[in-house]
Structure 1
Amino acid sequence: MSIDQLIVFLVLALSLVLFVHGKIRYDLTALLALLAVVVSGVLPTDLAFEGFSHPAVVTVAAVLIISRALSNAGIVDIIARQLSPIAHHPIMLTGALCIVVAVLSAFMNNVGALALIMPVAIQLGRKKNISPSLLLMPLAFCSLLGGLTTLIGTPPNIIIATYRAQVDPSPFAMFDFTPVGVSLSLIGLVFIIFLARFFLPDRKGQTGVQDLFKIDSYLTEVVVPEGSKVIGKSIRDLEYLTETDIVIVGLVRGSTRLSVPSSFEILNPGDILVVEADSEDLDVLIKEAGLNLVGSKELCPESGNEEDKDKSSFDKDACRQVLKADNMQLMEAVIQLESPIIGKTVLNLNLRWKYGINLLAVARQGARMTQRLKSIRFRAGDILLLQGQPDSMPDSLKEMGCFPLAQRPLGLSPRKDTVLAISIFILAVALTTLGYLPVHIALVGAALFMLLRGTISLNDAYKSVDWPIIVLLGAMIPVGTAMEMTGGAQFIADQILAVSGNLSPLATMGLLMIATMALSNLINNAAAAVLMAPIAINIATLINASFDPFLMTVAVGASLPFLTPIGHQSNTLVLGPGGYRFGDYWKLGLPLSIILGISAVLLISIIWPL
C-alpha cells in the first residue's frame, strides 16, 4: 500500500467516524475530507472543486427545485384528496399511501415526496384511529423504493449514471433503472403493505396534539394586579424572574388580544396572561411575581357550573380568541436532519424574538419530554409544539429546518399551473430519454421555465435546494477521484475478490451489495454511492466482466438503508412523529433488506448480464 493510498484510507476512515457520530454535520465532514486530500498533496489543487460543477450535483439541485414547483402546482393536493374515501382499513390505507409516495418518489426527491404525504397519513390515521407508528416507517421505506425506478428518483442513481459515462460512451438513461427498480419496488410494497404491521410497534396515544402533549392541562390564566413587582417590566423579565419553566402564550389587555406577545412587551396593571406551566412552577411564579390566579387549570372551558364561573372575572371568550382565532396557530413540527437548531436550546435560539413563535412542548420518541424546556437540546426527529402567527409560521419553520405535521389544506380544484408544470416536466424527461439533451441540461431548463412562469418563486427555489447534500456531493466526488487516482479503489476491489476467492461473479456482486448496503446505513447514501462506484468499476475490470451489473448493484445497495434512522433523511423524518426507537428500524428493515438484497442481485444479473 502506497503512502497516498494510506492517506486516502485514513481520511475516509476518519470521515466515516464523523459521519456516524454526527457531531459535525456531514457536509462539513465532507469539506474537511476534501481539504485533507488536497493539503496532503494526494489530489491536485486544480481538481479540488470540480465536484461542484459535476453533472450529478447540478441534476440533484434541479430535481429539488422541480419537486417544489410540482408541489406548488397542486399535484399532491389532487392525489391526496382521493385517498380518504378508500382508506377504510389499515391495509388499504397503508397500501394507498405507500403506492402514492413510491410513485411520487420516482420523479421527485425522496424526502420531498415523503414530506408531502406524511401530514396526509397522520391526519387520515387520526380519523381511522390508526397509530402513526404503523404508517410512517412504511411510508419512509416506500419513498426509498420509489426512488430506485428512474434516473432522477434518487441521488445515487444520478451519481452512478455519471460514473458509467467514464467507462462507456453514454451514461445510464432515464429509464435504464426502471426494470430492476420497479421489480424491487413491487416486491417491497407487497412485503410492507401486508407484513410490515407484524414487525412494527403499535404505540397508541400518539395521534394528536391533545393526546401527545395534553397542552390543556398546562395552560392557566393569571392577572397582573396593582402592586405587582413585574409592573413596568417586560415579558422576558417575567419569564426569567424565577427558575421556573414557563411560557407566556398570550396577553389580553382590555379589548386588545395578543398572541405570541413580544418578549419586550411591558406589563401593565390588569393585564391578563395565558401561561403555560405545571402546578409547581405556576405556584412559584405567582408568589415571586405577585400575580393572581384568575382561571382554572382547564384552559377556556366550554362548560362548567356557575360557581366555577363566579370564581373568576376572566373573559373566557377573550381567552379563546387569543388561543384559537385566526391571529394564532398551534402547530406540530418535526426537526429535520439538517436543521440549524439541532444541538441548541431555547435560550440559544431566542425563538420568540427571532422567529415570533413560542415553544410550548417537546416530544421525543413518542413521549412528551418532562425536563425543563429551557434545558432541552434539540435532536433530529424531535416533535415541537409551537404557537405563532399563521402567516409567518411557514417561513419560520423553514428557517428552523422543521417540517409541519398538521394537515395541509387541500385545494378544491387543480391550480392553473398544474397542467403546465406537468407538461414541462414530461417534456424534460422526454428530451433526455430520447437522447436530445443530457439530463442535467433538460432538468435545469425545466426548472428555469417554472421559475420564469411563476410556478415557483426564486426565493422558494433557493430554499428548496438541500444545500448540505449539494456540498456533500461537491466535496465527496473529488475525494472519490483521489481514491481512484491513488489506486485505493483497486486495492479495495482486490480485497473483495480475495475474500470471494473462487466464488462466482454473482457471489461477488452479493458481497458488493452487502458492503454498499452496510455503508449506506451509516452515512449518507449519496456519499456511499460516490465511494463504492470506483470500487465496482475496478471489480468488473479485474474479473473481465461488464461494468453495468456492478454499477447497478451499487445504485440499488446505496438506496436500501433500512436498518437505522440515520441511514437516510426519510428515516429520520418519521422518527419522532412515529414514536420510534432506534431498534424499531432493523426489526422491519432487516427482513426487508435481506429480501430486497437477494432479489436485487438476481434481477440485476438477469436484466444486466455479466
Structure 2
Amino acid sequence: MFISPIILTLIILLLALISFICEFFPVDTTAIGITVLLILCQLVTPEEGISGFSNSATITVMAMFILSAGITRTGGLQIVRDLLFQLGGKSLRKQIASLGIIVGFISAFINNTAVVAVFLPIIESWGKKRKISLSKLLIPLSYTAILGGVITIIGTSTNILASGLSKKLGYGEFSIFLITPIGIPIFFIGLIYLTFIAPRILPERKSVSNDGLDVDYGMKDYVSEIIITPRSNLIGQTLRQSGIQRKFDIDVLEIIHNDIHFPQPLADKILSLGDILLVRGSKEDLLQIRDERGVDILADVKFDEEKVEDELSFGEDKVAEVLILSNSRLIGSTLKDLRFRQRYNATVIAIRRGEELLRERLGKVRLRFGDLLLVQGPKESFIGLQTTRELLVLEERDIETLRQNKAYIAIAIVFGVVILAAFNILPILVSSLVGVMLMIFTGCLKPGEIYGAVRWDIIFLLAGLIPLGIAMDKSGTNELIANYIVMLGGYLPNYFVLVLFYFFTALLTEILSNNAAVLLMLPVAAEVAENLDLNPIAFMLAVMFAASNSYITPIGYQTNTMVYGPGGYRFLDFTRVGLPLTLMFTFLVPFFIIIVYGL
C-alpha cells in the first residue's frame, strides 16, 4: 500500500515527539534513530541524512562549546567572583540584581550552560557567607543566564542553529548582534521581574546557614556505626573478602581502629576485634548483618550530640554534593556498573533527584542529568572530581586545578572571535574555529580536552534532527502545516499571529527541547510569513526567542535542570516563578520584534 510522503513524514514526526516526551531513549539517540528511519523510508537520501554533521550550525555550536571550556578551564569566569561578592551587599534584591547583570553579560558571549556550571559553586559559597537560602538565588541564576543568552546570536546553541536554518532557507545568516536591540530590553525587563517580584514567590527550600547536609539528606537515619564483636566471622578478613558491601545494601564509609580513623580506600583493610565501621544502610540491612555476621549496632547517641556530617568529614575525609552534568558519560549507568567507589575513591551516600531523595539500592539506580550525589571520601578525591568534565563539585574549585595564568588570553581569544564575526571580517564559523586552534596553541586547553568540552548529546541532536527538517520541506509537510496556520491567521491581526507562534514554540520547548522546537517550528514560521506576505525574519526571530526562553519547568532547559537539585526545589516552583515571565514575554517579544524589524 502506497503511503504519501506527507503522511509518512507526519508519522515519523509523531514518533519523534512521543519518544521525546516519554523519554524512551536519550534525545540524541532518538534524533539519530529518526534519521535512520527517514533514510530507510527514502524521505531523504543518505547524503542528506548525514548532512547534519557537516552543517555550519552544528560545527559552530561545537566550536563555541570548546571556546566556553577555554574560559572556564583557565578560571576566566572566577575573575568576576570578587566583584559579585562586593556588589551583592546584604539585600536579596541587590544580590539578585548584581548576580543577574554579571551572569547575563557573560552569558551573552559564553554558552549559558557553562556559565551556570561555574557559578553554581560560587553561589553556594556566597549563600553560606551571606546566610541566604540557595533556593532564593539559584532560579534567578538560571533565568538570568537564559536571558543573557538571547542578547547575541552566540549566547546559546539554539540561536546559532536558528541562524544556520535561516541561511539554509535562503534568508542569510544572522549577524552576532542582530537580536541585541530586542535582547537587551527583554533582559532588563526580566531582571526587574526577578529582582522585585520573584523574591516574593521564590520558596525558601534549602538553607545553607542553619541545617547541614546531614539534615538535608536525612543522614542520621541512614548512617550508623557497627562494632566487630568476639563472635563475629569478619575478624581477620579484609573488607573485600567479607563481601558485606556486595551482599547487603550498605557502604562502609570509614573504619575506626583504636580511635584511628581509616578513610577510603578500605577494600584491603583487615578487620579486627573491636573495629568500628561507619556504614550507610537501612535498619533492615543492619539487622541482617548483625544476625549473620555477629556484629553489634552501636546506639546513635554520638549522632545526637554532633552532626553526622562532622563524623563523616573527620580528618582527611569530607562530604560534598556532586552534580551530574549533561555531557556526562555516567548518565544511564548505575553506580555498580561504573564501579564508582573504585573509579573516584569516594562513596555515594544518597542521591537527590528533584524532589525525590534516594537512599536505598543506590547501586542499581540509573543516573540522570541533574542528579545530585551526596559523596563522601578523602579530600584529595574531590580535587580529582573537580577536574573531571562529567561531574561538578558544588564548592569553589581549588586554584591549582585552573590555569589562571592563561585566563586573560582565553578572554582575549573569545573577544577576538566576536569582533571578527561582528564586523564581517570572517564568518562566525571560521572565526570560532580559529579561536579553537588559538585556545590549543596558547595552552588554554590541552588537545585532549576539546573532546570532553563538546556537548555531544547536543551535536548528535542537531545532526539527527536536521534531516527531519529536510524531509518536512521535501515532502511538502511544512507547506501543509503552514496552509492550516494561514487559514487561522486570516481571522487574527498579524501581531497575534506572531504571538501565536511565540506561545506555541515556548510550549513545545518545555515538552521537547529548545533545539528541537527551533528545528520543527522555524521553517514553518518562514513559510507562514511568506504566505501572509509578512516579514519572515520577524517570524523566525519570534520562534528563536521563544525556544531560548524556557522558564516554566525544570526540564525544559539545561540550566533549570542543573539548579533543580542544588536548590532543593519542587517541580511547581519553576512554574510559579516562570509562568508569569513566559506569558509576559509572549506579548512583549513580538511587540519589540515589530518595532525593530517591522512585520
Task: Provide the TM-score with structure 1 as the length reference.
Answer: 0.89
Percent sequence identity over aligned pairs: 29
1:418 aligns with 2:407: yes
Q: Aligned ranges for residues 469-484 of structure 1 at < 5 Å?
A: 469-484=458-473
Measure, in 1, the Cα distance between the counterparts of 2:267 and 2:421: 54
Q: CA deviation at 1:333?
A: 1.6
Moved more, 176-185 or 346-355: 346-355
Counterpart residue type for residue 33 of structure 1: I
**Match in the other structure for 1:248:** 252
In structure 2, do the counterparts of structure 1 residues 380 and 70 end up closer, same or farther at CA, with 3 Å as the change threshold?
closer
Q: Is the 1:340–1:400 contact (alpha carbons within 8 Å) kept by the matching residues of 2?
A: no
Deviations 1:102-123, CA, capped at 9 Å, x for gaps: 1221111111111111222222
**Match in the other structure for 1:115:** 117
**Match in the other structure for 1:313:** none
**Match in the other structure for 2:129:** 127
Q: Aligned ranges for residues 553-564 of structure 1 at < 5 Å?
A: 553-564=542-553
**Match in the other structure for 2:395:** 406
**Match in the other structure for 1:145:** 147
Measure, in 2, the Cα distance between the counterparts of 1:402 and 1:361: 16
**Match in the other structure for 2:61:** 60
SS at match of 1:83: helix
Q: Aligned ranges for residues 178-577 of structure 1 at < 5 Å?
A: 178-205=180-207, 208-213=212-217, 215=219, 218-225=222-229, 228-236=232-240, 238=242, 240=244, 244-252=248-256, 258-263=262-267, 265-269=269-273, 271-277=275-281, 281-292=285-296, 297-298=301-302, 323-324=312-313, 327-337=316-326, 339-342=328-331, 344-365=333-354, 368-369=357-358, 371-374=360-363, 376-393=365-382, 401-409=390-398, 415-577=404-566
Measure, in 2, the Cα distance between the counterparts of 1:96 and 1:324: 34
Measure, in 2, the Cα distance between the counterparts of 1:205 and 1:80: 21
Counterpart residue type for residue 383 of structure 1: L
Q: Aligned ranges for residues 10-25 of structure 1 at < 5 Å?
A: 10-25=11-26
In structure 2, do the counterparts of structure 1 residues 345 and 398 end up closer, same or farther at CA, with 3 Å as the change threshold?
farther
State the number of aligned residues. Answer: 595
Counterpart residue type for residue 536 of structure 1: A
Measure, in 1, the Cα distance between the counterparts of 2:459 and 2:364: 33
Measure, in 1, the Cα distance between the counterparts of 2:245 and 2:452: 38
In structure 2, do the counterparts of structure 1 residues 2 and 275 end up closer, same or farther at CA, with 3 Å as the change threshold?
closer
Q: Is the 2:158–2:544 contact (alpha carbons within 8 Å) kept by the matching residues of 1?
A: yes
Counterpart residue type for residue 31 of structure 1: I
Q: CA deviation at 1:13?
A: 1.1
Q: Aligned ranges for residues 170-181 of structure 1 at < 5 Å?
A: 170-181=172-183
**Match in the other structure for 1:311:** none
In structure 2, do the counterparts of structure 1 residues 300 and 411 end up closer, same or farther at CA, with 3 Å as the change threshold?
farther
Counterpart residue type for residue 40 of structure 1: C
Measure, in 2, the Cα distance between the counterparts of 1:566 and 1:398: 26
Counterpart residue type for residue 187 of structure 2: S
Q: Is the 1:220–1:298 contact (alpha carbons within 8 Å) kept by the matching residues of 2?
A: no
**Match in the other structure for 2:80:** 79
Deviations 1:248-270, CA, capped at 9 Å, x for gaps: 11235579854222445553556
**Match in the other structure for 1:162:** 164
Counterpart residue type for residue 185 of structure 1: F
Q: Which runs of 5+ in 2 are unaligned?
A: none
**Match in the other structure for 2:94:** 92
Measure, in 2, the Cα distance between the counterparts of 1:609 and 1:165: 20
Measure, in 2, the Cα distance between the counterparts of 1:511 and 1:539: 12
Q: Is the 1:260–1:387 contact (alpha carbons within 8 Å) kept by the matching residues of 2?
A: no
Measure, in 1, the Cα distance between the counterparts of 2:90 and 2:34: 51
In structure 2, do the counterparts of structure 1 residues 285 and 209 end up closer, same or farther at CA, with 3 Å as the change threshold?
same
Q: CA deviation at 1:521?
A: 0.9
In structure 2, do the counterparts of structure 1 residues 558 and 261 end up closer, same or farther at CA, with 3 Å as the change threshold?
same
Task: Provide the TM-score with structure 2 as the length reference.
Answer: 0.90
Counterpart residue type for residue 139 of structure 1: L
Measure, in 2, the Cα distance between the counterparts of 1:468 and 1:377: 18
1:9 aligns with 2:13: no
Deviations 1:338-384, CA, capped at 9 Å, x for gaps: 55545554444432134322111223445644545455554443321
Measure, in 2, the Cα distance between the counterparts of 1:223 and 1:300: 19
Q: Is the 1:101–1:113 contact (alpha carbons within 8 Å) kept by the matching residues of 2?
A: yes
1:587 aligns with 2:587: no
Q: Is the 2:502–2:546 contact (alpha carbons within 8 Å) kept by the matching residues of 1?
A: yes
SS at match of 1:330: strand
Counterpart residue type for residue 148 of structure 1: V
